[in-house]
Amino acid sequence: MAKKGRRRRRADRHRGPGRKPKLAFGVEVEVVDRSRLEVARALNYEFGGYIEIWQDEEYEDQLPRENIQEEKESFLLHFTEKGRHHRWQIVEDESLKCPRGELYTAEVVLGPMEERDLEMIRRACKTLLIAGAKTNETCGVHVHFSSDIFDGASLRRLIAFCYMYEPILFRALQVSDARKQNQCKPINEGFAREVLSSNDEVLTIMKKWYEIAGSGLTKGRFDPVRTYGLNLNPEPLKNHYELRYFNGTLEPDAVLSYAHIALGMLRYSMNKRNTATLSDAIEARQRVLSNPNTHYREFNALMERMGLGSKRYARSRDLFLKNL
């Protein structure tokens, strides 16, 4: 028994700091040139299950509805994969533009998922490509994750990560100036410095987010505060955050890599050893901004710290490092 106990403790020690926490997330893929019904039917053909018309449960006055026109609707795809029920959304997004008209735009929300479901992302992207869906400059890929996994310290670590390394992310991902001005704005420096100079809990950080970085809840889902690369409240009171740094694409390996880097950022923020004081963060940000020649080395080392250093993530590393 003593030997078994020692072996168990030794195994736990090896898994310890590097052990990956289970993280629930969703990947939002924006597409054009196919209607939401066409997208829903294509995914239904690949994954099975059934389709239903989506209605926002927050607004009871939407029920019952009459004169339903399917081509204008949003949809839910319900299916079972490996014994688990999935409920994906294919919905409207007013920010998407298509020459064929707004009926031929769709925001496809794959999730919630766990890391063991990552292959489903590849299948979904291949299915959308085969169905004729496309992306353009108005499209993006966003990764959502629950805000419930954060306390004040881990949320500060995520904010510190973005404050320090966001310039490298923008360069690695080739984020255009247009997206940085509209749909993927750099982190608000005043907000980051205020949060990193305190020991605030989550609710206080969120209060500062709206006071400093944005204009509050006045415009709900379309409030400009939602359009930062690190978006701390995509839909008010929905209890999730969002990373919006990723350009629109349906290339399966690219979307899978985006999910890898997002999960790596979350693991980084959950690791208590990755502390950064305000002075540390300012020093790191200035070093990154002043010397682009260090970007490759800095981000390569950072990906190791995010748990992305193994052969499994070689393609993801190549995607992010090739532009540095």
Where do the domains of the chain lie? 25-138, 150-205+249-321
Q: What is the pLDDT of residue 111?
A: 87
What are 128's two structure tokens? 């959308």
% of residues, the chain, pLDDT over 70: 84
Q: What is the pLDDT of residue 66?
A: 55
Q: What is the pLDDT of residue 63?
A: 47
Q: Look at residue 57 and tell me whether its pLDDT is greater than 80.
A: no
pLDDT band at 54 (very low <50, low <70, confident <90, very high): confident
**222's torsion region: left (phi>0), alpha (psi -120 to 50) or beta?**
alpha
Segment 287-308 shows an average pLDDT of 91
Upper half-sphere CA count for residue 205 (Cβ side, 13 Å): 25
CA separation for the pair 32, 152 (Å, rounded):
38
Q: What is the pLDDT of residue 79?
A: 96
DSSP 103: G
C-alpha of 45 from chain center? 26
CA separation for the pair 61, 77 (Å, rounded):
23
CA separation for the pair 131, 106 (Å, rounded):
13
End-to-end CA distance of the chain: 53
pLDDT band at 287 (very low <50, low <70, confident <90, very high): very high
% of residues, the chain, pLDDT over 90: 64
Q: What is the pLDDT of residue 276?
A: 82
Q: ∠ CA(199), CA(204), CA(206), 5° rounding?
A: 120
Please give the mean pLDDT across all residues of the chain: 86
Q: pTM, whole model, 2 decimals?
A: 0.86
For the domain made up of 25-138, the CATH class stated in words is alpha beta
CB 27 within 8 A of CB 259: yes
SS3 188: coil
- Reported as a single tens digit per residue, the pLDDT across 169-198 is 999 999 999 899 888 999 999 999 999 999
Q: What is the pLDDT of residue 43?
A: 97
Between residues 195 and 60, the one the model is more confident about: 195
CB 262 within 8 A of CB 269: no
CA separation for the pair 223, 291 (Å, rounded):
35
CA separation for the pair 206, 243 (Å, rounded):
16
Q: How far is residue 66 from each of residues 63, 70, 72, 229, measured CA to CA in Å? A: 9, 12, 13, 39
- Reported as a single tens digit per residue, the pLDDT across 83-92 is 999 999 999 9
Helix axes 295-305, 152-172, angle to 10 degrees: 140
